[in-house]
Amino acid sequence: MDWGALHTILGGVNKHSTSIGKIWLTVLFIFRIMILVVAAERVWGDEQDDFICNTLQPGCKKVCYDHFFPISHIRLWALQLIFVSTPALLVAMHVAYRRHEKKRQFRKGDQKCEYKDIEEIRKQRFHIEGSLWWTYTSSIFFRLVFEAVFMYAFYFMYDGFRMPRLMKCNAWPCPNTVDCFVSRPTEKTVFTIFMIAVSSICILLNVAELCYLLTKFFLRRSKKAGNPKHHPNHENKEETKQNEMNELISDSCQNTVIGFSS
Amino acid sequence: MNWAGLYTVLSGVNRHSTAIGRIWLSVIFIFRIMVLVVAAESVWGDEKSAFTCNTQQPGCNSVCYDHFFPISHIRLWALQLILVTTPALLVAMHVAYQQHQEKKLLVLTGHGDPKHMEEVKKHKMRISGSLWWTYVCSVVFRLLFEAVFMYIFYMLYPGYQMVRLGKCEGLPRPHTMGDRVHRVVRACARRGQHNSNPSSGKGSFYGHKLSSEYKQNEINQLLTEQDGSLKDMLRRNPGLQEKGDRCSAC
C-alpha cells in the first residue's frame, strides 16, 4: 500500500466529483503527493544523521533532535495527505451502496428500473443530489477541518514555518547550552513554504466547492418552491430539453462530432 | 505518485496537442525527466555527504553547505519539470469538459448509445475557439515557468557553474577567546559589506537574503554575549578592530 494505491482508490471517486473536486484531486496528487515523493523526502532524508551538535556527550544529540523535531515535517505531511484524502471514501462508499441497491432492483426484475444490464449500472455516474449531496458536503467539510488542524499543528510545533540553521539546546543529558545545526535549513524552509501554499490553495478550492454545492442546493430548492402550482406537463419538459440542446449546440458548435443529425 | 504517474497523466493530453506539442512532450520526458532520474540523481546523490570542509568544527560543514546550496539543483529541476508540465492539464480539463458537453448533446438528441459515446471519447478535438485560447495560455505559462526557473538558477548559481572549491568563513567558530573576538568584529564589519566573488561563496545572493535574518539573530546574540569581553579585548588590542576581514558566508 503506497501513494500509487491511494491514487487508484481515489481515481474512482473522481468520476462522481464536481469539476472543482476534480481540480482539487489533481492539485493534491501532482503538487503535494508528487512533490513529497520526488523531492521533499530526499531533502529530509538525512535530517537525523546530519543533525550535528557541538558536543561529545552521548545521547545529547538524540535528545536535542527529539526536542526540536517531535514529529518530522515529512511524517506530518504524509499524515495530513492521508487524512485529507480519505473523506472522499465516504462518497465512494455511498456510491457503492447506491449501485448495490440498483443491482438488487435490477435482479428482482423491478419494472421501475430503467437499466438494460448490470454493466450499465456499474458505469453510471450518479448526480450529486439527495442523500449523496449530504455525504459529499460532509466529506468536503471534514477535508477542510483536517487541513486547518494540520496547518495549525505545523505552526504550533515549529513556531512558524521557518527552519532555523542553529538551535541551542540544554536538555538533559547535555552538559550546557549546546549548539545544534540543522541540515539543509534553507531548502527545508522553501519546501515548507511551498507545501503550506499548496495546502492553502486546496483549502480555497474546498471552500469554493462547498459554496458551489450550497448555491446549487438553494437554487434547486427555490425552483421547487417557486413551482408548486405548475404541473410538470409534457410541454414544459420538451421546452426545457430544447433550451438545453440549444445551449449545448451553441457552446460546442466548433467541435461537435460530424455526422450526427439533429 | 512519481514520474511514471505524471507520464500517465500527461500522455492523455498528447492526443489533443499539435505536432510541435508532441515533440516538446517527448523531449521533456526523454531528455529531461529520464536524464534526471537515470543520471543526474546519482551525480547529486552524495552532494551533502561528500561535501567536505577543511575543518573539524561541528556544524561548519552543514552551515557552509547550506550557504553554497540553498536549494539543490535536483530539487529545482524537479520543481521546474512539474510546474512546466502541469499547464498541459488545463488543456486536458477543457477537452474533458467539451467531451462532457458533446455526450450530453448526444443523449438529448437520442444518440446516447454506447457506440456513439465511445466515438466521442476517441475523436480528436480541433484546437479552435475557446480550446485555442486555453492551449495558447498553457504554452504561455510553460514559457513563463521555464524563464523564471532559468533566472532563479542563474541567481542562485551564477554562470551555471559548479565551483570546485568554495571558501566559507561564517559561523560556527571554535570557542577560543581570540576567535570569539574575531567573530564579533567580523559580525560588525559584515553588516555593510557585499562580496560578489563566487569562489568565496558570496555570489549566492538569494541564499544571502534567505539566511540574513537568521544570521542577524545570531550576530545580535553574539554581540550581547560578547559585550563585556569585547570591550576588554579591544582595549588591550586596538589593532584587532582595524582588520578588514570579510565575512563571506553570512
The pair phi, psi for residue B125, each rounded to 5°, is: -80, 140
> Which residues of B fall within a CB distance of 8 Å from A115?
none
Residues B47 and B52: their CA atoms lie apart, in Å, by 10
Residue A130 pLDDT level (bands cut at 50, 70, 90)? confident
Among A167-171, B84-88, B159-163, B236-240, which stretch is predicted with the lowest mean pLDDT? B236-240
A82 in a structural domain: yes
Count of H-run helices and E-run strands, chain B:
11, 0
- Reported as a pLDDT band with limits 50, 70 and 90, residue A119 is low
The CATH number for A169's domain is 1.20.1440.80
- Please, which residues 202-231 of chain A have a Cβ atom closer than 8 Å to chain B? none
Name the residue type at position B156: L
Q: Report the gap between the CA of B80 and the closest CA in chain A (Å).
A: 11
From residue B60, give the alpha-carbon distance in Å to each of A67, A178, A180: 22, 14, 11
State which residue of chain A sits closest to B49, comparing Cα positions.
A50
Structural domain includes residue A230:
no
CA pair distance A187, B151, nearest whole angstrom: 18
Please report whether residue A90 resides in a domain: yes
Question: Quick one: pLDDT at residue A100?
Answer: 86
The H or E element that residue A169 is part of is: strand A166-169
H or E element in which residue A168 lies: strand A166-169
Cα(A30)–Cα(A18) distance, rounded to whole angstroms? 18
Residue A74 lies in a domain: yes
Q: Which of A26, A50, A254 sits opposite B62 (nearest CB)?
A: A50
Confidence of residue B221 (pLDDT cuts 50, 70, 90): low
Q: Which of A53, A181, A254 sits opposite B128 (nearest CB)?
A: A254
Interface mutation vs chain A, best among B47, B75, B215, most A CBs within 10 Å:
B75
Under an 8 A CB cutoff, do A164 and B214 touch? yes
Task: Determine the pLDDT at residue B125.
Answer: 77
Q: Does residue A55 form part of some domain?
A: yes
What is the number of domains present in chain A? 1
Q: Please list, in sequence order, all residues whose beta carbon lies within 8 angstroms of the beta carbon of residue B90, skipping any fewer than 6 positions away.
A: B134, B137, B138, B141
Domain containing A29 equals 19-107+127-224
Residue A237, chain B, CB below 8 Å: the answer is no
Give the Cα separation of B101 and B120 in Å (integer). 10
A68: helix, strand or coil:
helix
The neighbouring-strand residues paired with A168 are A179
The verdict on ipTM greater than 0.95 is: no
The answer to whether residue A122 neighbours chain B at the CB level (below 8 Å) is no
CB A213 within 8 Å of CB A18: yes
Q: To the nearest whole angstrom, how far is the Cα of B166 from the nearest Cα of chain A? A: 17
**Grid coordinates of A256:** 461537435
| Nearest Cα to Cα of residue A185 among A51, A39, A1 | A51
pLDDT digits (tens, 9 = 90+) for A175-212: 889 999 999 999 999 999 999 999 999 999 999 999 99
Asked if pLDDT for residue B152 goes beyond 60, the answer is yes
Whether B8 has a pLDDT exceeding 70, the answer reads yes
CB contact under 8 A, B78 and A182: no
When pLDDT is averaged across residues A159-177 and rounded to a whole number, the result is 87
Whether A238 maps to a domain, the answer reads no
Q: How is residue B1 written as a grid cell? A: 505518485
pTM for this structure? 0.75
Residue A112 lies inside a defined structural domain of this protein: no
Residue B210: is its pLDDT beyond 70?
no
Residue pairs between chains A and B whose CB atoms are closer than 8 Å? 153
> Chain A contacts of B102, Cβ < 8 Å?
248, 252, 255-257
Say if A160 falls within a structural domain. Answer: yes
**Residue B176 binned pLDDT confidence (cut-offs 50, 70, 90):** very low
